[in-house]
Structure 1
Amino acid sequence: MKIGLYFGSFNPIHTGHLIIANYVAYNTDLDKVWLVVSPHNPLKPSGSLLNEHNRLHLVELGVMGEPRLRASNIEFTLPRPSYTIDTLTYLSEKFPTQEFTVIMGSDSFQNITRWKNYEQLIKHYPIYIYERPGHEVKDTYGAKVEILKAPLLDISATSIRQWVKEGKSIRYLVPDNVAAYIAENNYYK
């Protein structure tokens, strides 16, 4: 089985994330896409981060009913901060019959040389890159890449958190069940 790993803070999960995950699940050779909730991205500040278990639950709500998408808490038990190569090494040992592919935006791919042991990552794992405006992939650094033209929405989790704080509606930016759960639990207030 081929599994795509889509890493993110998902703070919160939004329609843009889900469109990309669903597009990759149905328009590539992958059997499943796991949305891997990162407890803490070493390249991002963790100040406004909702608790990882709460973010995982929001992702579970977001992918509910979609058989090819799955929320994953795999990084919760690994040392922190989470490094993609460590997660991939762990998964490859734990699930030796699965093939893992990394899914990322072209903006993240431009920073790949700053990632821990990136040479190992690009040597051993394919990378599916969805293009983001203003971030054309010019150099693949020798990685096995596939460039995808996934539909993109210009939605940011930062804006969603701000709107919640200001009491504005986030309907259509996130799935209805995610919006309801955020409101019920007073997240991002």
Structure 2
Amino acid sequence: MKFAVLKFFAPMFAIAGTASFAMSEADDACIDHLRQVGGPDGQSGTIESSEFSEAGTLVMLRDAGGTLWRCIAYKDGSIGEMSVVDAMDDGGGAMAGAAGSTGSQRVKFDSGSTGAELVGELAPGASQQYVLGAKNEQFLYVRVAPRNGSLDYVIRNPDGSELLGLMSADKEYRGQLWQSGDHVVEVINRSNSSVDYNVIFGIE
């Protein structure tokens, strides 16, 4: 959560005291979240603006591929919203969610937690792979919740075989695993329009 490592450079704010501290915390929280959901381009970029309010801080971020993201962060460090305002593909297919592309990211749970919720956006024909380390006999929970449009998903075992074949996002999955290692949940947009979504994972 350091700007030097992330290569994010915040503009200077002429605000002192609690507001500037809260803005800094919100900036950090949004940067961390963008690194989780933004694919390769989300690992660096710039903070375009940061507007503090008691209800929540609005942070606008532009990633390395030029995509503009809107983030709302709360005082406790949680994220209320992370969405794409203006998508921009850099031409090399690096942007997660670019048409026809497949992104990949590892899902990490907070210490002491057995679940995680991420947000994303997929262009038509694009997919996003989520990698979860789990053990034989543990139970996996997956819920994909599109905010507009429709999505599908598949779940693959560490050996590449299918744990769950193509499934519509309106059906959640809960089942026991029979292999140990990295399981892959791939969310797929087979529609003709971009889809924003939340995806929830649980391992017990």
Q: TM-score range with shorter-chain normalisation?
A: under 0.3
Higher relative contact order (CA 8 A, sep 6+): 1
| More helix by percentage | 1
- TM-score by length of structure 1 reads 0.24
Larger radius of gyration: 2
| More strand by percentage | 2
- TM-score by length of structure 2 reads 0.22
